[in-house]
Chains A and B, each alone.
Chain A
Amino acid sequence: MFITVTLSLLEGLWTTFKIFSLTLLMALPLGLIISLGSMSKIKVIKWPIKTLIWVIRGTPLMLQLIVFGFGPGLLGIDGMSTFVAVMIAFVLNYACYFSEIYRGGIEGIPKGQYEAGTVLGLTKTQIFFKIVLMQVIKRIIPPMSNEFLTLVKDTSLANTIMIYEITWNAKRFMNSAHILWPLFYSGLFYLAFCGILTLLFGYIEKKLDYYKG
């Protein structure tokens, strides 16, 4: 039984990992775009984006999963797989949270850094990518590590729309074999996953420790 459960949870872990990595892959750049939009001086860009961030951060992720999971079907749109729905919900949700972290990081860069770039003849794009971005990354590592860990555990919400990740597979044994321990056991998988991430973030922080500011 133990081996059966372990194999089943490992299979779930793969799905969990897929949701996790695909979300990061898409939400990290999208979050940057959203954050630049939310800081835009152009009102028709700024306010819709601010509203989007408010709605996404103001409603439960589980509800968003249900909206994207079942909404298209209710509207008569067929053919969107549940996995795609999960990805849309996760990417949008995390991009909005990331965007606020980016915004904090970008607004925290001293004005003098932009001015120094300007007087040296750098274009705005060069200032952003060559000077500001690297400093933003260093500043946002601690809040980002929080979000990454939260994301690992949030993937379990995908089971509400029938995605067979770790928690779904563990719950299945509860229903079929009337045993609870696979659920507790699944906690170890999350714990190990987060442990690796914590070590990784510690390593990155140390790597970026060569300078201050």
Chain B
Amino acid sequence: MAILEIKNLKKSFGKTEVLKDISFSMEKGEAVSIIGSSGSGKTTFLRCINFLEKADSGTILLNGNEIFNGENKHTMSSADIRKNQLNFGFVFQQFNLFPQYNVLENVTLAPRLLAKERPDFKTNKKAIYKEIEENALSLLEKAGLKEKINNYPCQLSGGQQQRVAIVRALALNPEIMLFDEPTSALDPELTNEVLNIIKDLVDKDMTMIIVTHEMNFAKNVSDRVVFMDDGYIVEEGSPDEIFTNPKSERLKEFLSNTKV
């Protein structure tokens, strides 16, 4: 069974139709790259998956359970939205770390707040907090950020900030990671340190969707590549099919304008 199944997703902003009719599904452990020119709807698609934007119509199923249906989008309770959102880890182009907290606090803030909703929180507070901190420290160490745990975001390079942002998302154990152009705001020399972390996750069979302009990354790391254009998924397939044997004219044109 597909871990994520999306049917006929549509989204407009005012009169601009951004997503025209998107159907998509993915298996557990798959890493899917979404490519396409700016304005093709890639980011909006990603944001609709975890409700940062509410689609106008269509359905989203996670492990076979409907977590979104355009028919009753107005009656969705904010508690349900919140609960479903936690199935996804989201990494932003602009990192969006919390500037007033140091690296460790950025990573532990959400797990600590969520722990308060656990029934055993009052009796186990200390142990729970300790576990959260140990988990954060081990994730930070794997991301090569052990030396930086007491630093504030403004003291870090863009690449380090984005690595913290990835760890922050991972700390909540999401089922699916969503990356929205994670390297687009970085200097070219810093992109690799972020891409390497994402590659590590791919190697560990983390399920993920990456919206990216890094064609080499899409080609070499992902299991499947989706090409979007003008609000539609125009073509999808293995990296090989997409990059060496594109079928649609639009994709051929896109690839000829992009250095691979």
**Using a CB–CB distance below 8 Å, which chain A residues touch chain B?**
110, 112-113, 115-124, 126, 130-131, 134-135, 138, 210-213
Asked if A213 contacts B88 (CB within 8 A), the reply is: no
A-B pair number, CB within 8 angstroms: 59
Contact partner, A116, options B50, B92, B100, Cβ 8 Å: B92
Chain B residue contacts of A213, Cβ below 8 A: 99, 153-154
Contact partner, A212, options B50, B113, B114, B154, Cβ 8 Å: B154
Asked if A122 contacts B100 (CB within 8 A), the reply is: no
B217 interfacial by beta-carbon distance below 8 Å = no
B96 interfacial by beta-carbon distance below 8 Å = yes
**Using a CB–CB distance below 8 Å, which chain B residues touch chain A?**
50, 52, 78, 82, 85-86, 88-90, 92, 94, 96-100, 109-110, 113-114, 152-154, 168-169, 172
Asked if A122 contacts B98 (CB within 8 A), the reply is: no
Asked if A112 contacts B94 (CB within 8 A), the reply is: yes
Asked if B52 contacts A122 (CB within 8 A), the reply is: no
Task: Give the residue name and chain of the A residue nearest to B50 (CB).
Answer: A119
Asked if A210 contacts B152 (CB within 8 A), the reply is: yes
Given contacts A119-B88, A211-B154, A213-B154, contact A130 B96 (CB under 8 A): no
Asked if B110 contacts A122 (CB within 8 A), the reply is: yes
Given contact pairs A113-B96, A116-B96, A121-B86, a sample of 13 additional A-B residue pairs in the complex whose CB atoms are under 8 Å apart? A112-B96, A116-B92, A118-B85, A119-B88, A119-B169, A120-B172, A121-B110, A121-B172, A124-B78, A130-B109, A135-B99, A211-B99, A211-B154
Given contacts A118-B85, A123-B82, A131-B98, contact A211 B153 (CB under 8 A): yes
Asked if A120 contacts B109 (CB within 8 A), the reply is: yes
Chain A residue contacts of B85, Cβ below 8 A: 118-119, 121
Question: Nearest chain A CB to B177's CB is how many angstroms away?
Answer: 11
Contact partner, A134, options B100, B113, B154, B168, Cβ 8 Å: B100
Secondary structure of the A side of the interface? helix
List the 5 closest pairs (A to B, CB-CB), nearest first.
Answer: A213-B99, A120-B110, A116-B96, A112-B96, A119-B90
Question: Nearest chain A CB to B109's CB is how many angstroms away?
Answer: 7
Chain B CB count within 10 A is highest, among A112, A131, A210, A211, for: A211
Asked if A115 contacts B100 (CB within 8 A), the reply is: no
Alpha-carbon distance between A153 and B85 when the two chains are bound, in angstroms: 51
Question: Nearest chain B CB to A201's CB is how many angstroms away?
Answer: 19
Alpha-carbon distance between A120 and B96 when the two chains are bound, in angstroms: 12
Question: Nearest chain A CB to B197's CB is how many angstroms away?
Answer: 18
Alpha-carbon distance between A213 and B98 when the two chains are bound, in angstroms: 9
Task: Give the residue name and chain of the A residue nearest to B86 (CB).
Answer: A121
Task: Give the residue name and chain of the A residue nearest to B81 (CB).
Answer: A118
Alpha-carbon distance between A121 and B109 when the two chains are bound, in angstroms: 11
Alpha-carbon distance between A134 and B152 when the two chains are bound, in angstroms: 15
Asked if A121 contacts B114 (CB within 8 A), the reply is: yes
Task: Give the residue name and chain of the B residue nearest to A210 (CB).
Answer: B152
Contact sample, A vs B, 21 pairs, CB 8 Å cutoff: A112-B92, A112-B96, A118-B52, A119-B52, A119-B88, A120-B109, A120-B172, A121-B82, A121-B86, A121-B110, A122-B110, A122-B113, A134-B100, A135-B100, A210-B152, A211-B99, A211-B152, A212-B99, A212-B154, A213-B99, A213-B153
Question: Nearest chain A CB to B167's CB is how many angstroms away?
Answer: 12
Chain B residue contacts of A210, Cβ below 8 A: 152
Question: Nearest chain B CB to A150's CB is how many angstroms away?
Answer: 28
Chain B residue contacts of A135, Cβ below 8 A: 99-100
Alpha-carbon distance between A204 and B119 when the two chains are bound, in angstroms: 39
Chain B residue contacts of A126, Cβ below 8 A: 113
Chain B residue contacts of A134, Cβ below 8 A: 100
Chain A residue contacts of B78, Cβ below 8 A: 124
Chain B residue contacts of A120, Cβ below 8 A: 109-110, 168-169, 172
Chain B residue contacts of A116, Cβ below 8 A: 92, 96-98
Contact partner, B96, options A115, A121, A122, Cβ 8 Å: A115
Question: Nearest chain A CB to B86's CB is how many angstroms away?
Answer: 5
